[in-house]
Amino acid sequence: MGNYIGHSSFLSGANHWPRLVELLERHAIDCVFDVGANVGQYARALRKNGYDGRIVSFEPLTSAHAELTRSAANEGTWIVAARTAVGASAGETRINISPESDMSSILPLDVKARERLASTRSTETETVPVTTLSDALEAHAGSSAKIFVKSDTQGYENEVLSGIGDSWSRITGIQLELSLQPIYEGQPDHLPLLDRLAAQGLRPHLVIPGYWSRHYGRMLEYDVVCFRD
């Protein structure tokens, strides 16, 4: 969801960043795929906490992509891919644009979420190209040997994983936003996604608490960081 314990506290005052960067170093990660980059908050936080390796960011929204590109302009090892979503198959789709841009999703909010999270309701849509992680790895991984994938795609994580295809062996670690209380139509909860990662030998090494909703009276999501043991 991109928003932790209220809006944008994912980036401010959270103490998980040093631990995350320590894990990247421990596993010799030399390239981070930042899927659902929005305006570059995740990449900037990695840099601030000491990760100096290659970053490749993917963002589908035109306005966010433009700001993301400006953020990375002076960083030779931070690459912004052409504007695209990442999903199960290459093509084109429409994304629902939320007034809170990091809440925009290809999936529509479910009925309950539209009632309880009114400020996130989409006000318009935009047509966006879609690539797969398999194709993105082929296009952007280059000679990188240890690749870490972060996916924050507002309920679309299952499709992101499906697009890996036969390229799982290229991924050393992965960070997924997982839902305890799905809010998008067709979004699975966290358990089947954890099973998919476990089937590929990826085990949890860090759990990052997520968005607490006073409207639901519970935590809605969290991030899990997994590596091969």
pLDDT single digits (tens) 200-214: 999 999 999 988 888
Low-confidence ranges of the chain (pLDDT < 70): 1-14, 99-103, 106-107, 109-111, 113-114, 116-122
Q: Flag whether 20 is in a domain.
A: yes
Q: Flag whether 1 is in a domain.
A: no
* pLDDT given at position 144: 87
> Per the structure, how many domains does the chain have?
1
Q: Flag whether 156 is in a domain.
A: yes
Q: Flag whether 92 is in a domain.
A: yes
Kindly give the pairing relationship between strand 218-219 and strand 212-213: antiparallel
Tell me if residue 55 falls in helix, strand or coil. Answer: strand
- Between helix 41-48 and helix 16-26 the angle, nearest 10°, is 80
Write down the pTM of the prediction: 0.88
Q: Flag whether 213 is in a domain.
A: yes
Please give the C-alpha separations between residue 214 and each of 1, 9, 79, 211, 217, in angstroms, as whole numbers: 15, 15, 37, 10, 5
Q: Flag whether 5 is in a domain.
A: no
CATH of the domain at 138: 3.40.50.150
Say how far apart CA 173 and CA 65 lie, in whole Å: 25
* pLDDT given at position 122: 59
Q: Flag whether 180 is in a domain.
A: yes
pLDDT digits (tens, 9 = 90+) for 24-60: 999 999 999 999 999 999 999 999 999 999 999 999 9
Q: Which residue range forms the structural domain that includes residue 128? A: 16-228
Tell me if residue 189 falls in helix, strand or coil. Answer: coil
Q: Flag whether 33 is in a domain.
A: yes
